[in-house]
Amino acid sequence: MKKAIALLLALVTLLSLTACAGKEDAASSALDQIKQKGELVVGTSADYPPYEFHTEVDGKDTIVGFDMEIAQAIADKLGVSLKIVDMSFDNLLMSLANDEFDLVIAGLTADEERRKTTDFSDPYLEAKNLILVRAEDADKYASLDDLKGVKGGAQTGSKPYNNCVTYCGEETTVGLAKVQDLVMELEAGKLDVVFLDYMTVLSYADAKEDLAAVDLGIPETSDGYSIAVKKGNTELAEFINGVLAELKEQNTIEQFIVEAKKLESAAE
């Protein structure tokens, strides 16, 4: 009887140790799993120049932009290839939670609401918001109060969309999935203003003579743009932070931005 009890206790102890080891392996294998599959899968919404956008490279449609260069740097550091998945901005974090990719980089700010369901890297770039208007209306808006009741547009699921609702009003805010569609609606006179990140506004204003950038001092509540990982994936977040620190120290992100703007100009 004593031998049976001893054997049972030994078996319980062994199973407990095995379970603990399994948990430790699962917790420490996030990077190993990426290395084993040989690719880093990145989610983005490639309609946000110069962050991420489509252009033709060697006769082939290619997603480029300085966010994608940062993603490539992370993949290179891991020693794996980079796979980019392009989808609507407002579906990215849900798809990340469903393990459709390893990380999201898409001009994304880590606000309080998003942090409830998603983990983020350190910021890699300051966030700032401008509005895009028709050039003929450039002097029409002198303060945020001038936007009340104005028909504004922004990308659904984005921080600029929230700003549009705040300053234009919910009834006059239009949300669309693609930035290009917002710009076309603005040019067609169906929207009066479009809320976007400052570099994207400047990109469109530089590329199109009929559009202009306006800075009304929209307050920014986030620390800047960050990379999203699945909630609890601290190992990958810490690895990304290490890569970002190296890129910042070497001023490489600034170089990525310059190259992205060159590609954008060539695609116009």
Give residue 265's pLDDT: 77
pTM over 0.85: no
**Where do the CATH 3.40.190.10 domains begin and end in the chain?**
37-126+223-267, 129-214
Contacts (Cβ under 8 Å, ≥6 apart) of 209: 135
Pairing of strands 47-48, 193-197: unpaired
Compute the distance between CA of residue 132 and CA of residue 150 in angstroms, rounded to an integer: 13
Query: What's the pLDDT score for residue 221?
Result: 80
CATH number of 129-214: 3.40.190.10
Of 205, 203, 208, 262, nearest in space to 57 by CA: 262
Dihedral over Cα of 197, 263, 68, 53: its sign: positive
Cβ–Cβ under 8 Å, residues 224 and 89: no
Could you read off the pLDDT tens digit of each residue along the chain, which spans 268 residues?
A: 545 444 444 444 444 544 444 444 444 478 999 999 999 999 999 999 999 999 998 899 999 999 999 999 999 999 999 999 999 999 999 999 999 999 999 999 998 899 999 999 999 999 888 999 999 999 999 999 999 999 999 999 999 999 999 999 999 999 999 999 999 999 999 999 999 999 999 999 999 999 999 999 999 888 899 999 999 999 999 999 999 999 999 999 999 999 999 888 766 6
- Supply the pLDDT for residue 173: 98
**pLDDT value of position 22:** 45
Q: Does domain 37-126+223-267 have CATH number 3.40.190.10?
A: yes
